[in-house]
Amino acid sequence: MHDLSDKLFNEIDRRQDDLVLLTQELVRFPTINPPGEAYTPCAEYIGRRLKKTGFTIEYVRGEGTPGDSDRYPRTNVIGRIEGKRPGPTVHFNSHIDVVDAGAGWTFDPFAATIHDGKIYGRGTCDMKGGLSTSIIAVEAYIACNPDFSGAIEISGTVDEESGGFGGVAYLAKKGYFSKPRVDHVIIPEPLNKDRICLGHRGVWWAEIETKGEQAHGSMPFLGDCAVRHMGAVLEELERDLFPKLDLKRTAMPVVPEGARSSTMNINAIHGGQTDDYDGLPSPNVPDSCKMTIDRRFLIEEQLGEVKSEITDILEQLKKSRPKFDYTIRDLMEVLPVMTGRDEPVPASVAAAILQVMGKEPEYVVSPGTYDQKHVSRIGHLNDCIAYGPGILDLAHRPDEYIVIQDMIESAKVMALSIHSLLHPKG
């Protein structure tokens, strides 16, 4: 193994220019989501590249998924290369979509400028740098050890930034993220080169509507104001729920630290006449008020309890407040996911980080979700982590960058991990 490690490290060092150029070319596809710009040319670029390395390439369009159209097709690419003998399959999955550049840049966000050992641009960190790092790691590994067992896959998938429905979720439904096709999955999201991300907290989004009765605004006593009812809901949330959430702490190593409690955000609230109207408002008692909540929950909590904390408050108000009426509608549910540290992927990557960087990895859990949810929930594959070279705090920011040296170190970690996953000892 030591001979192979040295060979791999030299091979990756030798490919630094290729790694940089590959990252730059990927960043120059402005794969902004929404709307899902330039997905097909970006996917085809990855496909052509992997084909040259000997991969078999498939393109799968997320037909009919949100945003999919002939103008903005949800094009995914999956490459697979078989080893010399049967064995497990390692899969590297990266999303190719990026968020809008936004304001505040000193570099052109799609020029992929090199400055001071870094590549600047939208998606360098999140996560085209991770994608190119995994491609170089795999190519170097195949060059050094062409007799490997099992199979290696690399995918470039769409729409992670908008939930992954046209990307990993679509592919998982078609069996691309399940046994026996795949055994081990690494998602090179930017969690930092020496951290292993084991999973994420859960999500429940819901819309609460309070009902009222319309009347003339000069005689509100004849109607029933839905906004006042929502005010009562807010008061109960402040008094009862938020303090309770702060006290719920998790054993999950969530970063940042503040996200080790349960949290809830109120995404939106609206009642009465819409604010895009710029005349004088009409004097109406609003008969409806809607609020969208974004509740992030811990692995120690059950989704059922999470929901009943809210419905208990609403039911209580129904008893204590005259004419109070409501509906509640689920918008999204994702269960928390956390891979055990002793599973093959985290164990292999931890050993590789120790070998490359001379230190133990930090284990983390993401406050928000990413495509691991679909691998776990739809694919039923639990040996999955996020591991990649980008610096988490730079994701989605102006002047996003990736450090070239971090990609090199991370590629070495990935290459060693491929070997130990494909050739487990004992």
* Site of interaction with Zn ion (CB under 5 A): 126-127, 189
> Which is closer to Zn ion, CB of 75 or CB of 157?
157
- Secondary structure class of 152 (helix, strand, coil): strand
The DSSP string of 277-346 is: --SPPP-B--SEEEEEEEEEE-TTS-HHHHHHHHHHHHHHHHHHSTT--EEEEEEEEE--EE--TTSHHH
Q: Which of 374, 333, 422 is nearest to 176 (CA)?
A: 374
Distance in Å, CB of 114 to Zn ion, minimum = 22
Distance in Å, CB of 338 to Zn ion, minimum = 19
Check if the beta carbon of residue 308 is closer than 8 Å to that of residue 206.
no
Q: Which of 196, 204, 202, 334 is nearest to 253 (CA)?
A: 196
Distance in Å, CB of 277 to Zn ion, minimum = 38
Q: What is the DSSP letter of 87?
A: E
Distance in Å, CB of 24 to Zn ion, minimum = 19
> Which is closer to Zn ion, CB of 126 or CB of 309?
126
Distance in Å, CB of 187 to Zn ion, minimum = 9
Cα(63)–Cα(75) distance, integer angstroms:
9
Distance in Å, CB of 127 to Zn ion, minimum = 4
Cα(186)–Cα(198) distance, integer angstroms:
10
Cα(312)–Cα(304) distance, integer angstroms:
12
Cα(264)–Cα(326) distance, integer angstroms:
20
> Which is closer to Zn ion, CB of 120 or CB of 326?
120
Token output for 209: 């509507």
Q: What is the DSSP letter of 417?
A: H
CA triple 30-177-196, angle to 5 deg: 75
> Which is closer to Zn ion, CB of 123 or CB of 271?
123
Check if the beta carbon of residue 166 is closer than 8 Å to that of residue 73.
no
> Which is closer to Zn ion, CB of 33 or CB of 420?
33
Distance in Å, CB of 409 to Zn ion, minimum = 20
**Phi, psi values for residue 165, rounded to 5°:** -70, -35
Distance in Å, CB of 35 to Zn ion, minimum = 18
> Which is closer to Zn ion, CB of 127 or CB of 151?
127
Residue nearest to Zn ion (CB): 126
Distance in Å, CB of 328 to Zn ion, minimum = 31
The DSSP string of 243-271 is: HHHHH-B-SS-BSSGGGGB-EEEEEEEEE
Cα(177)–Cα(135) distance, integer angstroms:
19
CA 287 vs. chain centroid, Å, equals 38
> Which is closer to Zn ion, CB of 197 or CB of 317?
197
Cα(98)–Cα(161) distance, integer angstroms:
7
> Which is closer to Zn ion, CB of 126 or CB of 183?
126
Q: Which of 417, 418, 422 is nearest to 355 (CA)?
A: 417
Distance in Å, CB of 270 to Zn ion, minimum = 30
Token output for 303: 């989704």
Give the chain's largest Cα–Cα span: 86
> Which is closer to Zn ion, CB of 200 or CB of 296?
200
Which residue matches tokens 């050993």?
Answer: 351
> Which is closer to Zn ion, CB of 126 or CB of 406?
126
> Which is closer to Zn ion, CB of 127 or CB of 135?
127
- Secondary structure class of 404 (helix, strand, coil): helix
Distance in Å, CB of 189 to Zn ion, minimum = 5
